[in-house]
Amino acid sequence: MLRQIFGGPDVEEPRPYTPPRTTPLFRLAAVMPEFADELKQLLTDQGETALADSVLDLWVFGRCRCEYYHCATMYTRPEPETGYNFRGGLSVLPKTGEIYIDTDDDGMIACIEALYQPETRRRLIEALP
């Protein structure tokens, strides 16, 4: 603010601290039931029964804000204060696009990267503008 009054180089003000989101926003299967069903089936087909069984109970805590037209990435675990640190990942082959699953230290699904799936992206942005 002082730079605005007295002049000087434009320096971006530091952003205020935003605590990590710890409250889920919506249940994935309630907002995107077709996507959740397809994901559950794809994981089952790959023998990932524990992950498949967890899909219908996944809650979404946030989404990627990159704004790439092909990105519909959603976070299904609370963000740690140190940021996300995924431990494992696997890819599944949907009918269209790509889906990558990232897991956390507990082996739980922490992030779903749905790429090149316009309908999934549209529904996600509707739920989390």
Q: How many domains does the chain have?
A: 1
Of 48, 59, 117, 126, which Cα lies nearest the Cα of 89? 48
Average pLDDT of the chain to the nearest whole number: 82
Torsional sign, CA 116, 121, 122, 125: negative
Domain presence at residue 40: yes
Q: Give me the domain span that covers residue 76.
A: 23-127
Token look-up 């999934």 returns: 120
Q: pLDDT of 17-70, one tens digit each?
A: 444 567 778 899 999 999 999 999 999 999 999 999 999 999 999 888 888 889
How many other β-carbons are positioned within 10 Å of the β-carbon of residue 86?
Answer: 14
**pLDDT band of 1, cuts 50, 70, 90:** very low
Any domain includes 52: yes
Distances, alpha carbon 100 to alpha carbons 7, 27, 29, 45, 126, in Å: 48, 19, 18, 15, 21
Q: Is residue 123 part of a domain?
A: yes
The pLDDT assigned to 68 comes to 87
